[in-house]
Amino acid sequence: MTIRTLHYIATRPEQAEIACRAGVDWVQLRLKNRTYADWKTVALEILAVCRQYNARLIINDNPHLAGEIGADGVHLGQEDMPVREARALLGPGVIIGGTANTADTIVAHQRDGVDYVGLGPFRFTATKEKLSPILGLAGYRRVLLAVQQQAVTLPIIAIGGITLADVSELIRAGLHGIAVSSAITDAPDPAAQTRLFLSQLTLAPNHVH
């Protein structure tokens, strides 16, 4: 299974539609403070968009919903269901991503069987509640060096306030890819911005196809 280099975090179906039409093929649905029924309604609408464009849909924080609607995977925060429990619930074919802020957490995630790690935050972001300590580029380099020494082979995705100008240095530092939300959603032309991110990732050194 190939973990994509651009993960787009959406909250509404129309956001996913614009991004997928522009070439995104990995969408993460992040909703907060919604009832299960509301969450399911939005998730099913975004799943329909993803199926139309042959994109993967990852549900944030809610493995039960991911399993119920047949999403491609789930992304678990550090306060969500444990990875092993989610794997037992969803089975081996479903993608499981895990959030991390330290090398120790990444090592634990590999042991527990995640498919990729979202490491962050890169810088301050207003879209995330309960922000962990900010890593910055130096923090990423430090964490990546530590996990390499412990034979971690997981794809690691940078997240948290990432802009277009950050892409090449993040990939050069050894990150597999990036996850973005507001950098695309709040752009004057989200579709054009999506295409710019995709082209930056393709041009970046050490790009993984």
CB neighbour class for 112 (10 Å; exposed up to 12, middle 13-18, buried from 19): middle
Strand partners, 117: 98, 156
CA separation for the pair 171, 61 (Å, rounded) = 26
The predicted-structure confidence for 22-53, as pLDDT tens digits, reads as follows: 999 999 999 989 999 999 999 999 999 999 99
CB-based contacts of 101: which residues, under 8 Å, 6+ apart? 78, 119, 120, 121, 132, 133, 135
Q: Which two tokens stand for residue 168?
A: 């090449």
Annotate 41-80 with b (16+ C-beta within 10 A) or e (fewer). ebbbbbbebbeebebbbbbbbbbebbbebebbbbbbbeeb
The pTM score is 0.95
**Helix (H, G, I), strand (E, B), or coil: what is residue 6?**
strand
Whether the per-residue pLDDT at 209 is higher than 80: the answer is no
Residue 2 CB coordination number (10 Å): 10
The predicted-structure confidence for 128-161, as pLDDT tens digits, reads as follows: 667 789 999 999 999 999 999 999 999 999 999 9
Q: Residue 54: what are its φ and ψ, rounded to 5°?
A: 55, 40
Quote the percentage of the chain above a pLDDT of 70.
96
Q: Which two tokens stand for residue 69?
A: 């609607």
pLDDT value at residue 196: 98
Residue 192 CB coordination number (10 Å): 11
Q: Cβ(49)–Cβ(16) under 8 Å?
A: yes
Map out the domains of the chain with their CATH numbers: 6-203 (3.20.20.70)
Q: Cβ(172)–Cβ(206) under 8 Å?
A: yes
Half-sphere exposure of 47 (CA within 13 A, CB side): 18
